[in-house]
A and B are shown apart, each in its own frame.
Chain A
Amino acid sequence: AQRVTQPEKLLSVFKGAPVELKCNYSYSGSPELFWYVQYSRQRLQLLLRHISRESIKGFTADLNKGETSFHLKKPFAQEEDSAMYYCALSPGGYQKVTFGTGTKLQVIP
């Protein structure tokens, strides 16, 4: 069975400081990893996926298979980054996507 762990419920950083939202997973195969974001009063939306190796809104995430981690990083936090962030794992195919418990990022002006 797959599991996604986000150890921090709340992460507070000052504007301009670096951000790292932690995500660890357990799965025996080669999963796809994603980060989803939910801004205040908005629906959940995809932020980025590991296979794309892209940077979205300054955020990047690298899949570390050795450490089974997929941490989300941004060098300089902005106030508009304040949101709830969810790490998610997909085994592939038509199986369900497993979400972590989420981390609330609070960027202090």
Chain B
Amino acid sequence: GAVVSQHPSWVICKSGTSVKIECRSLDFQATTMFWYRQFPKQSLMLMATSNEGSKATYEQGVEKDKFLINHASLTLSTLTVTSAHPEDSSFYICSARGQGMNTGELFFGEGSRLTVL
């Protein structure tokens, strides 16, 4: 099956610094990638939808200047948390939808745990 890899799996950073998380589709081309936050014992919260070569579409309430998303190629999307603060600490997950694949079938990364001190 299709594989999506996220890196890093976990990261600790100081308040005020920026952190980049990568999401790669390893064996397929991802026309669309989605970024989520998952709070402890809570559901997925969709942050943004990113289509290759175009600007990301952010969900209401998500600050686009805070969470920069880039989808420069069909196999890579990045999420940069800028000027991170402790409240940004969370589990970030990406998913990808491939070319020619069933539109609702998504392949998920393993997630990236961010801790901001």
A interface list, Cβ under 8 A from B:
32-34, 36, 43-46, 49, 51, 86, 88-90, 92-102
B31, B46, B106 — most chain A CB neighbours (10 Å):
B106
Count of chain B residues with Cβ under 8 Å from any Cβ of A? 21
- Once the chains bind, are A86 and B104 in contact (CB under 8 Å)? no
A94-B103, A97-B104 known; 20 new pairs, CB 8 Å cut-off, are A33-B104, A34-B104, A36-B106, A43-B108, A43-B109, A44-B93, A44-B95, A44-B108, A46-B105, A49-B104, A49-B105, A86-B43, A90-B104, A92-B103, A94-B97, A95-B103, A96-B34, A98-B46, A99-B44, A102-B44
- Once the chains bind, are B108 and A32 in contact (CB under 8 Å)? no
- Once the chains bind, are B102 and A49 in contact (CB under 8 Å)? yes
Interface residues in B20-34 by Cβ distance below 8 A to A read: 31-32, 34
From residue A64, how far is it (CB to closest CB) to chain B in Å? 18
Docked CA distance A93–B44 (Å): 21
Bitwise, B68-98 to A at CB < 8 A (1) or not (0) is: 0000000000000000000000000101010
What are 28 A-B pairs at a CB distance below 8 A?
A: A32-B102, A34-B104, A36-B106, A43-B111, A44-B93, A44-B95, A49-B102, A49-B104, A49-B105, A51-B102, A86-B43, A86-B44, A88-B104, A90-B103, A92-B104, A94-B32, A94-B51, A94-B97, A95-B103, A96-B34, A96-B46, A96-B49, A97-B104, A98-B46, A99-B43, A100-B43, A101-B42, A102-B43
Residues of A within 8 A of B106 (CB): 36, 46, 97
Q: What 7 pairs between A and B have smallest CB-CB spacing?
A: A90-B104, A101-B43, A44-B108, A32-B104, A102-B43, A43-B108, A43-B110
Query: What residue in chain B is nearest A34 (Cβ atoms)?
Result: B104
Residues of B within 8 A of A99 (CB): 43-44, 46
Bitwise, B32-48 to A at CB < 8 A (1) or not (0) is: 10100000001110100
- Once the chains bind, are B103 and A93 in contact (CB under 8 Å)? yes
Docked CA distance A86–B42 (Å): 11
